[in-house]
Amino acid sequence: MSSVLTRTRLAVPPTPAVPDVHGGQVPVAVGEPLIRLRGVTKTYGSGSAAFQALRGVDLDIAAGEFVAVMGPSGSGKSTAMNILGCLDTPTSGTYQFRGVAVQRLSRDQRARLRRRWLGFVFQGFNLLARTTALENVELPLLYRGVPRAQRHVAAAKALASVGLAGWETHTPAELSGGQQQRVAIARAIVTEPAVLLADEPTGNLDSQRSREIMELLRELNVRQQITVLMVTHEPDMAAYARRVVHFVDGLVESDTPRTDEGA
Ligand code: ADP
pTM score above 0.85: yes
pLDDT in tens, 147-199: 999 999 999 999 999 999 999 999 999 999 999 999 999 999 999 999 999 99
Under a CB-based contact definition with an 8 Å cutoff, are residues 123 and 95 in contact? no
Pocket test for ligand 1, best of 40, 51, 88, 231 (most atoms within 8 A of CB): 51
Under a CB-based contact definition with an 8 Å cutoff, are residues 237 and 230 in contact? yes
Q: Ligand 1: which residue has its CA nearest to atom 5? A: 76
Give the helix ranges, DSSP H, for the chain.
Answer: 2-10, 77-84, 107-117, 133-143, 148-161, 177-189, 207-223, 235-238
CA 142 to CA 25: how far, in whole Å?
19
In a domain, 8, yes or no: no
Residues 6+ apart with CB under 8 A from 135: 128, 155
In a domain, 5, yes or no: no
Instruction: Please tell me the distance between residue 83's alpha carbon and the centre of ligand 1 in angstroms.
Output: 12
- For residue 46, which phi and psi values (nearest 5 degrees)? -145, 170
Pick from 35, 70, 75, 72: which is nearest to 52 by CA? Answer: 75
Instruction: Determine the atom of ligand 1 nearest the C-alpha atom of 231.
Output: 2
- For residue 234, which phi and psi values (nearest 5 degrees)? -105, 120
Average pLDDT, the chain: 88
CA distances from 125 to 27, 116, 235, 240 (A): 32, 21, 21, 20
Instruction: Please tell me the distance between residue 76's alpha carbon and the centre of ligand 1 in angstroms.
Output: 6
In a domain, 123, yes or no: yes
Q: What is the pLDDT of residue 52?
A: 97
Tell whether the model's pLDDT for residue 22 goes beyond 60.
no
Return the C-alpha torsion angle 151, 156, 162, 165, nearest 10: 170
In a domain, 223, yes or no: yes
In a domain, 153, yes or no: yes
* CATH number of the domain that residue 111 is part of: 3.40.50.300
The count of structural domains within the chain is 1
Cis peptide before 140 (omega within 30 of 0): no
127 vs 25, residue with greater confidence: 127
In a domain, 6, yes or no: no
pLDDT in tens, 49-69: 999 999 999 999 999 999 999
CA 252 to CA 258: how far, in whole Å?
16
- Domain range for 67: 15-258
pLDDT in tens, 95-149: 999 999 999 999 999 999 999 999 999 999 999 999 999 999 999 999 899 999 9
In a domain, 9, yes or no: no
pLDDT band at 258 (very low <50, low <70, confident <90, very high): confident
Q: Ligand 1: which residue has its CA nearest to atom 16? A: 74
